[in-house]
Amino acid sequence: MAFMKRKFFKAKLLLNNRENLVWVLNMVNYWLCVTNRENWEVVQKRRIWGVPERSSRQIERVKVGDYLVFYMMPKKIAGIMEATSEAFRSDNKIFNWKGPSGDETFQHRIKLKPVTVPKQPLDFEGLIPKLNFISNKDFWTGHLRRAMRTIPKEDYETIHAFLEGN
């Protein structure tokens, strides 16, 4: 039960196949997604987040109702979105990224809705001392080298409060 202390549960009332009402508990996860300014604009406009093939396992773990915090390179927090779909695949090129292997399509995607998005991205560096997922405060960028990763609820709440307060 120790794992339950770090997660938030969202209850849903659903009809099962016998037309009976049942409560379903969904464990909410919190994600940090790393992007650049150009792709953040795509996320905002199209309300879609995508990752390359090498990150497909992470995005496949995202469930409807999970929260995604967007870190925008360099050193900005761009906003928070909520997942509104399970992961899906699309080869339609909407993101722009030149990776080590050339152009990336970011074909593994989820749909989103905005939760908290400031008019302009905010400075990230002031948050570093307050975030638990960053264990090495001197070399914090090492914690942001993947397209996405889970973060503790406490870190999500810290970032959310920061965005709401600005």
What does the alpha-carbon distance between residue 110 and residue 50 come to, in Å, rounded to a whole number? 7
Q: Is the pTM of this model over 0.85?
A: no
Q: Is residue 118 part of a domain?
A: yes
What does the alpha-carbon distance between residue 112 and residue 66 come to, in Å, rounded to a whole number? 10
Q: Is residue 18 part of a domain?
A: no
Across the chain, mean pLDDT equals 86
Give the structural domain span for 134: 29-164
pLDDT digits (tens, 9 = 90+) for 80-120: 999 999 999 999 999 987 666 657 789 999 999 999 999 99
Q: Is residue 1 part of a domain?
A: no
Identify the sign of the CA torsion 161, 156, 56, 88: negative
Q: Is residue 19 part of a domain?
A: no
Amino acid at 86: E
Q: Is residue 11 part of a domain?
A: no
Q: Is the pLDDT of residue 55 over 50?
A: yes
What is the number of structural domains in the chain? 1
What does the alpha-carbon distance between residue 31 and residue 37 come to, in Å, rounded to a whole number? 18
Q: Is residue 97 part of a domain?
A: yes
Q: Is residue 14 part of a domain?
A: no
Q: Is residue 41 part of a domain?
A: yes
Amino acid at 32: L
Q: What is the CATH number of the domain that holds 39?
A: 3.10.590.10
